[in-house]
Amino acid sequence: MGLFFTPSHPDFKINLNADTLSYLFSWPFAAAMFWVSFAYSGWNAAAYIAGDIKNPTKNLPRALLIGTLLVTMLYVGLNFVFLKVAPYSELTVKFTDQGPVNIDTGNVAGKFMFGESGVKIVGLVISLLLVSSISAMIMAGPRVISAMGKDYSIFSAFAKSNKGGSPVLAIWVLCTISVLLLFTGTFNQILEFTSFVLILFSTLTVSGLIYSRYKYPQATRPFKTPLYPFIPLLFILCNIWFMYQAVLHNPHNTLIGVLIVVSGIPVFYMSKGSSKTKTVLTK
């Protein structure tokens, strides 16, 4: 509807110039990337259910690549439509001490595509899509906790499943954590510090790839890393830049994210001696 049946507003244009590059190194761009990183979170969720995937060596990379490309096309396309159909002044989010104002970008674009009734239509569609996202993460997220139970005896209770193979206790743990988060901050606060944690852990994970290749050069590697080490290093450097900007300009919410991560250190040392698996296999 946005691409083919809704006219572009008079202000719509794509104007890339020398100033565009400087914006990429600004705090507003880094802040926006926290919201974008949250929108893309889940791109790696197929790895969470690798134990339930047939022929994971072949199908897991396929799921990650196809899923990420498809979501990227849809997400960028959706934002392109928002910019095409609605005036920039209507889409501008204003940040105040009470939080962001005019944040319902989809509703604004819906009004210009479908009229006043479009606000309700777009709002309903987005709500249904959020329900589907919750459903996907209920399937993927608890399996991380369940895998911890299989690898570490201290968490063995979380590995138990019902007759249908669902990790029931792990689901309840994740549900409890989610509800606690909902009641301990505003949407904006939760989004900012959880996004910081997501970026931090993805950075640590990719750094772990480089570390493991250095420490275990003879380890079996069923998954290839194209253009190694350039792609991992680029990913790490970009994330470090975003986190650095967050620490400078939003230290409060950043500190919350750091404290969440630090709280896991004692648990790590408690579980260190309870490992039940040897994860590094050599050739």
Give, as one character, the DSSP assignment of residue 52.
G
Task: Tell me what pLDDT residue 195 has.
Answer: 81
Residues 172-209: pLDDT tens digits? Answer: 988 898 888 888 877 777 777 788 888 888 899 899 99
What CA–CA distances, in Å, run from 89 to 8, 85, 173? 14, 12, 43
pTM of the model: 0.75
Task: Tell me what pLDDT residue 49 has.
Answer: 82
**Interacting residues of 84 by C-beta distance below 8 A, sequence separation 6+:** 2, 3, 6, 8, 9, 12
Determine the Cα–Cα distance for residues 180 and 185; give it in Å rounded to an integer.
9
Determine the Cα–Cα distance for residues 101 and 124; give it in Å rounded to an integer.
20
**Interacting residues of 33 by C-beta distance below 8 A, sequence separation 6+:** 242
Residues 74-85: pLDDT tens digits? Answer: 889 988 998 898
Task: Tell me what pLDDT residue 100 has.
Answer: 67
The three-state secondary structure class of 275 is: strand
Determine the Cα–Cα distance for residues 76 and 84; give it in Å rounded to an integer.
12
Determine the Cα–Cα distance for residues 64 and 257; give it in Å rounded to an integer.
26
Q: Which residues of the chain have pLDDT under 50?
A: none
H helices within the chain, ranges in order?
A: 18-23, 27-40, 56-85, 88-91, 105-114, 116-151, 168-182, 187-215, 230-249, 251-262, 264-271
> Hey, where are the domains in the chain?
186-274
Determine the Cα–Cα distance for residues 122 and 155; give it in Å rounded to an integer.
42
Determine the Cα–Cα distance for residues 153 and 155; give it in Å rounded to an integer.
5
Query: What's the token pair of residue 119?
Result: 């606000």
